Amino acid sequence: MRIRRRRCRSVTVGSVRIGGRAPISVQSMTNTPTADAGATIAQIRSLVEAGAQIVRVSVPDEASAAALHRIVAESGVPIVADIHFRHDLAVAAVEAGVAKLRINPGNIQRPADVRVLAEKAASRGIPIRVGINSGSIPGHIREKLGTGADALWAAAERHLLLLAETGFTDTVISLKASDPMTTVEANLRAARECDRPLHLGVTEAGPSLEGAVRSSVAIGLLLARGIGDTIRVSLSGPPEDEPFVAWEILSSLGLGRIHPRLVSCPTCARTRIDVAGIAGELSGILRRIRGDFTVAVMGCEVNGPGEAREADFAVIGSPAGMILFEGGRRLPGTVQPGEIRSRLEHELSRFAEKQGGPAR
């Protein structure tokens, strides 16, 4: 199925373009104290290795704004400053060199404050994301419309107008609810009503497994309709899981891939090897490898050889033990339980380099 992307304007976030004909980009966010520049830079690098192309950091105070100078200089990826309540911190973040601002219209509403930060962003040519969450819709809109899709869009529309009155139009919109279908409805509305790039995500999506499912439903439904220009999967878990899940969503829709694809059987009474354990090991290894190929883990010889022919690389349980296939051909010997990790790391790094997808 070919997805026709919605046409919209584009903005430039450092080295990444969002919207227009640009590929859908993957974002994530740090959870270290931003004032601790060293820890934040280390986490940003870890997120980038997992596939993040843009990273957002919270800027809750002056110490965080001051740390942004070093974070921007040493991160090697566009940094977005996440600003709430204080427009002066947005100004400080722009001066520190961030590539984009995210502001929350629920808590920066005064037209004079919006004008100051918009003029500052315009002076450096950086875009602003108007990020509306269902938990922080401005009071007067909440009283009238509640917290559903109409309220999310109304809050965004009002703030876009506020920014437009200052002459600022370099904007991205996000409309996020913790309920996936409210998120979908709000973004369908935004896609109909405006031509701004849309940042997709589900807010407070939950722990890794629940959050991955809810995010996949909302983001996947929208992307399948051609809506969405950049995505962030929000998880209460290791931040590095976020870009991983985001890329799995894009890959499942044929919209992009950076890591090899891992498939594994569900196991049954015929299972001859520890499929879950091996798939877990492989998942960790493959997250550090770039490449467009498929790796399969199959518990027995029933479907194993067929899957091995389909996959580029396969690990299969057999009466003789664990055997490996590459390009549909069996590699010599068997793999002993104690050497699984080192053998798989070695074989997959070699395979990724052979495929031209550099191992990292």
- State the residues that interact with ligand SF4 by CB under 6 A: 265-268, 270-271, 298-300, 302-304
First to last CA, the chain: 31
Which residues, in sequence order, are CB contacts of 162 under 8 Å at separation 6+? 105, 111, 114
Distance (Å, whole) CA 252 – CA 171: 28
Detail the DSSP E strand segments found in the chain. Answer: 10-13, 16-19, 25-29, 54-58, 79-83, 100-103, 128-133, 171-176, 199-200, 230-232, 261-264, 294-298, 313-318, 321-326, 329-330
Which residues, in sequence order, are CB contacts of 143 under 8 Å at separation 6+? none
Nearer to ligand SF4, 146 or 306 (CB): 306
Nearer to ligand SF4, 258 or 308 (CB): 308
Nearer to ligand SF4, 260 or 317 (CB): 317
Identify the CA nearest to 2 among candidates 187, 246, 199, 226. Answer: 226
Residue 244 Cβ, how far from ligand SF4 at the closest point, in Å? Answer: 24
DSSP letter for 225, please: T
Nearer to ligand SF4, 10 or 318 (CB): 318
Distance (Å, whole) CA 249 – CA 270: 31
Distance (Å, whole) CA 156 – CA 112: 18
Which residues, in sequence order, are CB contacts of 144 under 8 Å at separation 6+? 151
Residue 289 Cβ, how far from ligand SF4 at the closest point, in Å? Answer: 24
Which residues, in sequence order, are CB contacts of 32 under 8 Å at separation 6+? 39, 40, 42, 43
Nearer to ligand SF4, 337 or 358 (CB): 337
Residue 251 Cβ, how far from ligand SF4 at the closest point, in Å? Answer: 23
Nearer to ligand SF4, 237 or 321 (CB): 321
CB 210 within 8 A of CB 166: no
Distance (Å, whole) CA 134 – CA 132: 7
Distance (Å, whole) CA 268 – CA 280: 17
Nearer to ligand SF4, 126 or 300 (CB): 300
Residue 271 Cβ, how far from ligand SF4 at the closest point, in Å? Answer: 4
Handedness of CA 284, 285, 289, 294 (dihedral sign): negative
Nearer to ligand SF4, 106 or 304 (CB): 304
Distance (Å, whole) CA 360 – CA 288: 6
Residue 280 Cβ, how far from ligand SF4 at the closest point, in Å? Answer: 16
Residue 228 Cβ, how far from ligand SF4 at the closest point, in Å? Answer: 35
Residue 336 Cβ, how far from ligand SF4 at the closest point, in Å? Answer: 20
Nearer to ligand SF4, 186 or 298 (CB): 298
Residue 310 Cβ, how far from ligand SF4 at the closest point, in Å? Answer: 13
Nearest residue (beta carbon) to ligand SF4: 299
For the chain, how big is the Rg over CA atoms in Å? 23
Residue 268 Cβ, how far from ligand SF4 at the closest point, in Å? Answer: 3
